[in-house]
Chain A
Amino acid sequence: MKDLALRALDAVARGGVTYADVRAIETREREVTTKNGKAGHVSGAESQGIGIRVLAFGCWGFAATDDLSKDGIESAATLALEIARAGTAAKKADVALAPEDKYQATWVSPCAIDPFSIPVDSNLAVLLAVDQEVRRNSAISLAEANMHFERRRQVFASTLGSLIDQTRTSSGAGFSALCYKDGEIQKRSYPNSFGGQYQLKGYELVEQLDLLRHAPRIAEEAVALHSADQCPEGEFDLILDSSQLGLQIHESIGHPIELDRVLGTEANYAGMSFLTLDQLRHLRYGSEIVNVVCDARLEHGPGLGTFAFDDEGVPAQQTDIIRFGRFTGYMTSRETAAAVGETRSNGCMRADGWARLPLIRMTNVSLKPGRQSLDEVFGADHAIYMETNRSWSIDDKRYNFQFGCEIAWEMRGGKRIRMLKNPSYSGISTEFWNACAAIAGPQHWTLWGVPNCGKGQPEQVMGTGHGASPARFRKIKVGGAYGG
């Protein structure tokens, strides 16, 4: 791998470039799913290739190939240069990069149990046991369970002289129970919807999730939702579980702080951001108790956004995004850092594989735990508590959002008084975070993984991390999804 990266770097550097970097990557994946007592998707995949990024003639060029022969690499290097030259047809200014040191490093993410050492039939046995437990409830129409494992080794080499060898192992698992009856579909998922929980861990994650123990409750709730009351429409105090709050952070803080969006380079697809440059260090983003960081360091936890170096060779860092409610920082790259007066990137460039260009992506964007106990968070006179995302939508500047959850309860004096179905809430990002009234402490904080964040053209799918504790928000608009 190192030889491959260095050969490719040599091939492109010979062409005369201002800067170049190469990522040689090999990936191994396993996906196992079950559905209603049978194996669903069972597959293993391996992939190897290189991505060559050059800065020449003041423009970027990028070419990727899985033809790793001498000719294949030469051909990709030549194409990357040709592409950079073509960019001069529509160039406004030469690309300039913030300085960065060179690094020689090897880093392997912690992994207690190699997930690829566990046989597929053992994976299936675990999932089928969960499936059986879910379907023990005869009202369940569809039980689905899944596991996903990935190991990616990446060797990064750049003309700065960096040579960085990183291996990251991630795992994910979860299950869901769907109940269709009387012209209505209701669904519950554990530990989260859309595939469950994902972290930078080995098979130990699956053991920690204890899927089987939760199967009866999840099935029972999916069925009970059919006889629950419809979530009312109106303004309520809102309590969110940490998984839903993780997605709320992702959509209404994580994406708006991507500096490339702010600068317009994602305008045609993902959109821009309400966080224009004049808002930095001025905007009251949230209430005094809202503190958010972007942190790729292992000290933050085993998130999908945890690494040692980003994909342009910048070390993992922690950046304050919101301090005591004030907006204090963006996610940057070597190309964009200067736009906010920084002399160095804060290390947020990531690509979803060897075939794609690094972009500014979320690492782990997390709400720091608060000081309240869980009783204090749930202690409002009257509130609605929602759990587990069902749908999410936000405008292209990340102002107006609407989320639906799988289940909710009306709360009085900290007690659940009735279950509610089809809950939703909506608002404007800054108004929502300024309404934050209570955040539970560190013992209730979970680092959630979002494995499917889309961005870029061609689209890239990235895993991001979001830590959160349950929190309460004042006077939020609830129930609008079924309104009108």
Chain B
Amino acid sequence: MEAEEIFNQVVAAAQALGVTEVEAILGGAEQALTRFANNAIHQNVAERTTHLSVRAAIEGRTARASTNRLDAASIRAVVERAIAITRLTEPDAELLPLAEPAEYRSVARWSAPTAHSTPQERAEAVAAAIHVVEAAGQTAAGIYSTDDTQFTLMNSRGVRAQYRETMARFSITAMASDSSGWAKASACDLRDVDPLGLALSASRKAAQSAAPRELPPGRYTVILEPAAVLDLAGQMFGDFSATAVRDGRSFLNDRIGRKIFGENITIHDDVSHPLQSGAPFDGEGVPRRGLTLVEGGVVRDIAYSRQAAAHAGVEPTGHGFPLPNEYGETPANIVIAGGDTPVEQMVASTDRGILVTRFWYIREVDPYEKIFTGMTRDGTFLVEGGRVTAGVRNFRFNQGLMEMLSNVEALSPAVRASGEETFDMVVPAMKVRGFNFTEVTRF
């Protein structure tokens, strides 16, 4: 059934109950994931899902109901539920009428080979990657996934915002007797993901970090590969939100316009960046605008939903979550400007330091000082005299982000990075002085 036809049923059901302001998000996805461990495929799954979410707006009240059934009776029922809940909520004087229609940038992020990838194709790519690791006497574990997702946001004022995207992800951990290595990549087109290259990289790291040395905790110069930068620096962007600042829960509460990072840190939010993914509109159908979040270390822009923008007397930036919600908005297409120092050159210029492949289990220790803790994992190396000399046991860190991003000595060109602790972003590798490792674990 076409989205427009379903929306007509939503509108008709709402009108039958005397409600004219209604919004619907209709989505569907086909996702497949081939998972391997111990050099064999062990979990191999596919799912097909549908989603219809309806929001009613009645005299300053709003609420949402959702279903995955798209027959006429279920559509009518979800509209009735949304309206019934809405009528029971308290009016909010700040609630705005539904968004008006707008023009959206065109972004091409769907690829037929990714959408039509078969279990056999994924299995063959996995088998080849396993072979690389197994040939090195190591054990491989990882995933190869392909997704095809689409959704349409429609409202009774004429908003029609459609988006479809494919995404391929390959991640691999190579394990030796006392060491491991990891690599991961994602792209909208699976032809831009190289499972064999990632397997080779993970395997080399596992071999190179064998017989890890134990170093004492302390302040070290670190070279953070892009996935490590992503997963740590990526923790702060939810605070670049007007609603978070208004609530007093952002570390930017009194820091907008102030220089809090080094001059070499510039960060944009740019949905049209060629390495980015995601829809060019927000949860109400407002077009995403580009933001300069940080320029030369100074906090410039933050994101505004329609409601936050109205409260502040500015224009919305197109970063709002679907309503109703308590969080407001967030930048979603982060691009940290890179430099021209490749990782190899960072290593060559380091007398003594630690090279970090990835971080793990990152959690906020202090919300205002923006201190995070976490562990290194799957490829942590000692750098001495300009070269990698040994693997080291994994460290725990407790590190403030403002301090870290004030101590960046070099940046690599930015790449699309994929980790496990936050969403994918475009970030460089970084060489950082004085990184705070506080403990060492047993492996």
- Interface residue count on the A side (C-beta < 8 Å): 88
Contact with A391, one of B50, B120, B219, B365 (Cβ below 8 angstroms): B365
**A45/B67 contact (C-beta < 8 A), A265-B141, A395-B375 known:** yes
**In contact, B37 and A395 (Cβ under 8 angstroms):** no
**In contact, B40 and A90 (Cβ under 8 angstroms):** yes
Q: How far is the CA of A83 from the CA of B144 in the complex (A)?
A: 13
**A396/B361 contact (C-beta < 8 A), A66-B68, A90-B40, A178-B248 known:** yes
**In contact, B438 and A484 (Cβ under 8 angstroms):** yes
**A35/B123 contact (C-beta < 8 A), A83-B46, A124-B90, A424-B365 known:** no
Kindly list the 9 A-B residue pairs having the minimum CB-CB distance in the complex, ordered from nearest: A180-B248, A40-B326, A141-B248, A86-B119, A400-B441, A89-B123, A121-B88, A267-B141, A86-B123
Contact with B66, one of A45, A89, A178, A426 (Cβ below 8 angstroms): A45
Closest chain A CB from B443 CB (angstroms) = 6
**In contact, A90 and B119 (Cβ under 8 angstroms):** no
Question: A-facing mask of B22-64, CB < 8 A → 1, else 0?
Answer: 0000000001111111111111111111100000000000111
**Contacts A63-B47, A393-B362 supplied; 19 other A-B pairs, CB < 8 Å:** A35-B326, A43-B63, A45-B67, A46-B65, A59-B44, A63-B48, A82-B119, A83-B32, A88-B123, A120-B63, A120-B88, A124-B88, A178-B247, A394-B375, A395-B360, A400-B394, A400-B439, A483-B398, A484-B436
Q: Is B367 an interface residue (CB 8 A)?
A: yes
**In contact, A90 and B127 (Cβ under 8 angstroms):** yes
**In contact, B363 and A392 (Cβ under 8 angstroms):** yes
**A42/B63 contact (C-beta < 8 A), A60-B42, A124-B88, A355-B49 known:** yes
For B82, list chain A residues within 8 Å (CB). Answer: 44
Q: How far is the CA of A42 from the CA of B442 in the complex (A)?
A: 46
Q: How far is the CA of A49 from the CA of B85 in the complex (A)?
A: 24
**In contact, A357 and B45 (Cβ under 8 angstroms):** yes
For A60, list chain B residues within 8 Å (CB). Answer: 42-44
**A41/B325 contact (C-beta < 8 A), A480-B438, A481-B398 known:** yes
Question: B-facing mask of A57-72, CB < 8 A → 1, else 0?
Answer: 0011111111100000
For A404, list chain B residues within 8 Å (CB). Answer: 363, 365, 373
**In contact, A178 and B39 (Cβ under 8 angstroms):** no
Of the candidates B45, B69, B143, the one having the most CB atoms from chain A within 10 angstroms of its own CB is B45
**SS class of chain A's interface: helix, strand, loop or mixed?**
mixed
Question: A-facing mask of B85-103, CB < 8 A → 1, else 0?
Answer: 1101110100000000000
**In contact, B360 and A64 (Cβ under 8 angstroms):** no
**A180/B46 contact (C-beta < 8 A), A87-B123, A484-B436 known:** no
CB contact list, B407-443 vs A, under 8 A = 420, 436-443
For B139, list chain A residues within 8 Å (CB). Answer: 264, 267
Stretch at the interface among B152-160, B167-175, B285-293: B167-175
Residues of B within 8 A of A (CB): 31-50, 62-69, 78, 81-82, 85-86, 88-90, 92, 118-120, 122-124, 126-127, 130, 139, 141-143, 145, 171-173, 175, 180, 182, 217-219, 247-249, 253-254, 324-326, 360-368, 371, 373-375, 377-378, 394, 396, 398, 420, 436-443
Q: How far is the CA of A185 from the CA of B244 in the complex (A)?
A: 12
Q: How far is the CA of A426 from the CA of B143 in the complex (A)?
A: 32
**In contact, A64 and B46 (Cβ under 8 angstroms):** yes
Q: Is A91 an interface residue (CB 8 A)?
A: yes
Q: Is A165 an interface residue (CB 8 A)?
A: no
Contact with B92, one of A39, A142, A397 (Cβ below 8 angstroms): A39
Closest chain B residue, CB of each to CB of A272: B175
Of the candidates A48, A67, A180, A390, the one having the most CB atoms from chain B within 10 angstroms of its own CB is A180
Q: Is A452 an interface residue (CB 8 A)?
A: no
For A402, list chain B residues within 8 Å (CB). Answer: 373, 396, 398, 439
**In contact, B439 and A268 (Cβ under 8 angstroms):** no
Residues of A within 8 A of B (CB): 33, 35-36, 38-49, 59-67, 76, 79-80, 82-93, 119-121, 124, 128, 141-142, 144, 178, 180, 183-185, 187, 263-269, 271, 274, 355-357, 390-397, 399-400, 402, 404, 422, 424, 426, 428, 457-458, 480-484
For A391, list chain B residues within 8 Å (CB). Answer: 363-365, 373
For B33, list chain A residues within 8 Å (CB). Answer: 457-458
Q: How far is the CA of A87 from the CA of B443 in the complex (A)?
A: 32
**In contact, B38 and A92 (Cβ under 8 angstroms):** yes
25 contacting pairs across A/B (C-beta < 8 A): A38-B90, A42-B324, A43-B65, A44-B81, A63-B47, A65-B47, A85-B119, A86-B34, A89-B124, A90-B127, A120-B89, A124-B90, A180-B368, A267-B139, A268-B37, A356-B47, A357-B43, A393-B362, A397-B443, A424-B365, A426-B439, A428-B442, A480-B398, A484-B437, A484-B438
**In contact, B41 and A90 (Cβ under 8 angstroms):** yes
For A84, list chain B residues within 8 Å (CB). Answer: 44
Closest chain A CB from B396 CB (angstroms) = 6
Closest chain A CB from B414 CB (angstroms) = 25
Closest chain A residue, CB of each to CB of B94: A38
**In contact, B48 and A66 (Cβ under 8 angstroms):** yes
For A356, list chain B residues within 8 Å (CB). Answer: 45, 47
**In contact, A268 and B130 (Cβ under 8 angstroms):** no
**A457/B68 contact (C-beta < 8 A), A178-B248, A267-B37 known:** no
For A271, list chain B residues within 8 Å (CB). Answer: 360, 377
Of the candidates B89, B118, B439, the one having the most CB atoms from chain A within 10 angstroms of its own CB is B439
Closest chain A residue, CB of each to CB of B37: A265
Closest chain B CB from A178 CB (angstroms) = 6
For A80, list chain B residues within 8 Å (CB). Answer: 46
**In contact, A268 and B90 (Cβ under 8 angstroms):** no
**A269/B92 contact (C-beta < 8 A), A92-B40, A264-B38 known:** no
Contact with B37, one of A35, A266, A399 (Cβ below 8 angstroms): A266
Closest chain A residue, CB of each to CB of B86: A42
Closest chain B residue, CB of each to CB of A180: B248
For A63, list chain B residues within 8 Å (CB). Answer: 45-48
For A40, list chain B residues within 8 Å (CB). Answer: 324-326
Contact with B141, one of A41, A268, A395, A428 (Cβ below 8 angstroms): A268
